[in-house]
Structure formats: C-alpha cells, structure tokens
Amino acid sequence: MINFWKYQGAGNDFIMIDDRNNTFNINDFEKVALLCHRRFGIGADGLILIRLKEGYDFEMVYFNADGHLGSMCGNGGRCAVRFAHTLGLFENKTSFWAADGAHEATLDDKQLVHLLMNPPGDIEINNDHYFMDTGSPHYVRFENDLINFDCVAEGKAIRHNERFNEEGTNVNFAQVTGKQSLDVRTFERGVEDETYACGTGVTACAIAANIEHDMQSPIQVKVLGGQLAVGFTKVSDKKYTNIILTGPATPVFKAEIEG
Ligand SMILES: N[C@H](CCC[C@H](N)C(=O)O)C(=O)O
C-alpha cells in the first residue's frame, strides 16, 4: 500500500508521498504515470516524494504527470513545504533541496507559502517572446486577449520546438492587466496540457514583464486556479535576485492506494 496526500497550489495538483525511508522506486515511471492518471489513477499534474537530505530539512523529488523526473516546480515546492511542515520537519522557516538546488521558504499566518526561487541564468529576449530557466525552462509571450486564447493549440505548437532544450519547454502566455498585475496561462510539458497554474512559469512571466513593461515588484499574477505573487530585486540588466513566489498550498485529502 502507498499512503499519500493530495495537495494543490492554485489548482496545480500533486500526489505527495512521505518517502523518508527511500522505498519508492524513482525509475518506475509507468507507476508514477499511472498514479497521476486522472481516469486510471489518483489524478494529478505531478507526484512529489519527501526524502531526507543531509544539510537540509528535506529533499523534494518531483515527477511530471508523464512519470518522468521533472525539473523545479514552484507550486509543488510550496505544497512540499506545507507537507514537510505537517511531518514536523521544520517550524517556520525551512531550507530544502530540489532539482535546481537549494531553496528557502517560510509559512505565514494566512496559510501562504513564500518560496525563494533561484535566479534565471541567461534570459533570451526575442522579437515576440522570452526564454529563460527559472528552475524549469519557460517560453513567455505577451498576448492581448488571454480569455479567448487557445492555450493548448498555441502551447503545443511551441512545446517541442527544438531550438529550446532537447526536452522542450513549458509555454506561458501573459497579459498585462494593471500597473503591477498580470494574467497568465501555461501549457506544461510533462503534463502536455494547460494546467491551472505553474509557479516557475509565473516567475518567468513576472521577470519578462519587468523587462518588457518595466513592471515593478511585487507583481500579482492571476492564473486559472487562483492568485500568485512574485517579488524580486533587479540587480542589473537581466539579472535578478531575491525572487520570491508567494501563494497557497492546500491539503485536499489523505488516502492509500494499492501499489
Ligand atoms: N508546475 C510547475 C512547473 C513544472 C515544470 C515541469 N512541467 C517541467 O518542465 O519539468 C510549477 O509550478 O513550477
């Protein structure tokens, strides 16, 4: 039996497993894909294992819904922090390990998690889009009519373009809605569909909005599944630090499944 929790952060949903005894086989991608399947399994955009890691409160091991190990996941990171808190792994402030290295996070009394993201390396600026790695690779394009936009069709067309990583890219479409606000829709690789939110994606969009529109921190971002915020400090041209993704992380249910 596998004991698991289901969590969601702005509608990006995850199966969370306490794997501090390292029993889960991380190479069994068929099993992970089945657990994440919305008809044959539990259903989720991804699966996260909480493991122990020397020098940190815990390690977050993140898989995409297709069963393969993913890169960093911002919404999943916040959910992992809240789950690790319920496991008693830290009190108010944590430092944990993820696919893109170390992260810090705090919980506040409004049930929000503030997650420190790693700065993107090179930010590519092109005619009509941006490309950067905020822990996961993200394409960002600004649009004017996001509500009526076909995110899946447009996302699919860009997702595998080989000028990005061999493994392709996540694809974000952003619309400016105010002085410090954006709407964002994301087509996620590894899920191969539009998700309700993508934390590393909105982080990339906020940075792109600072470059393209001089939008100042903190930026409020509305996504299909709720509201996120991205704070940052600009160090110099295309260089950012102190990038903080803030948003909810909510337990949905706890159960067990054969496996
Ligand atoms: N949903 C995630 C991003 C997952 C990235 C994943 N799809 C990949 O590229 O491996 C987030 O909240 O940041």
Residue range 123-160, pLDDT digits in tens:
999 999 999 999 999 999 999 999 999 999 999 999 98
Return the percentage of the chain with pLDDT > 70, whole number. Answer: 99
In short, whether 175's Cβ falls inside 6 Å of ligand 1 is no
At 81 the pLDDT is 98
Same structural domain, 108 and 134: no
Average pLDDT of the chain is 96
Clarify whether residues 253 and 243 are in a common domain.
Answer: no
Q: How far is the CA of 73 from the centre of ligand 1 (A)?
A: 4
CB burial of residue 29 (10 Å; 0-12, 13-18, 19+)? middle
pLDDT in tens, 23-81: 999 999 999 999 999 999 999 999 999 999 999 999 999 999 999 998 999 999 999 99
Q: Which of 218, 222, 221 is nearest to 234 (CA)?
A: 218
Q: Where are the alpha helices (DSSP H) in 87-159?
A: 151-159
**Angle separating helix axes 199-213 and 74-86, nearest 10 degrees:** 130
Is residue 77 in contact with ligand 1, taking CB distance under 6 Å?
A: no
Which one, of 16, 51, 20, lies nearest residue 35 by Cα? 16
More confident residue, 165 or 177: 177
The domain spanning residue 179 has which CATH number?
Answer: 3.10.310.10
Look up residue 256 and give its amino acid: E
User: Quick check: 67 and 29 in contact, CB under 8 A?
Assistant: yes
CA of 167 to the centre of ligand 1 (A): 13
Domain shared by 227 and 134, yes or no: yes
If asked whether residues 39 and 133 sit together in one domain, one would say no
* Whether 168 and 233 share a structural domain: yes
| 214 and 193 part of one domain | yes
79 is catalytic: no
Q: How confident is the model at residue 166 (pLDDT cuts 50, 70, 90)?
A: confident
Interface confidence, given as ipTM, is: 0.91
Task: Label residue 161 by pLDDT band (50, 70, 90).
Answer: confident
Give the structural domain span for 193.
Answer: 124-247
What is the count of structural domains for the chain?
2
For residues 167 and 100, membership in a common domain is answered with: no
- Under the banding of pLDDT at 50, 70 and 90, the label for residue 259 is confident
* Tokens 């919305």 sit on residue: 38
Q: How far is the CA of 46 from the centre of ligand 1 (A)?
A: 9
Task: Give me the percent of the chain exceeding a pLDDT of 90.
Answer: 94
Mutate which of 73, 113, 193 for ligand 1 pocket (most atoms within 8 A of beta carbon): 73
Question: What is the spatial distance between Cα 255 and Cα 1, in angstroms, rounded to a whole number?
Answer: 10
Whether 172 is in the pocket of ligand 1, judged by its Cβ within 6 Å, is no
DSSP E strand boundaries for the chain: 2-9, 12-18, 46-51, 58-64, 93-98, 101-107, 112-117, 124-125, 130-133, 137-142, 170-178, 181-188, 193-195, 219-223, 226-236, 239-248, 250-257
Binned at pLDDT 50, 70 and 90, residue 162 comes out as low
pLDDT digits (tens, 9 = 90+) for 229-254: 999 999 999 999 999 999 999 999 99
Are 184 and 144 found together in one domain?
A: yes
Average pLDDT of span 204-218: 98
Q: Are residues 53 and 143 in the same domain?
A: no
- 111 and 26 within one domain: yes
Measured from the CA of 134, which atom of ligand 1 is nearest? 13
- Of 209, 2, 229, 40, the C-alpha closest to 123 is 209
How much is the pLDDT for 110? 86
Let me know whether 151 and 111 are in one domain.
no
Task: Note whether 148 and 65 are same-domain residues.
Answer: no
205 in active site: no
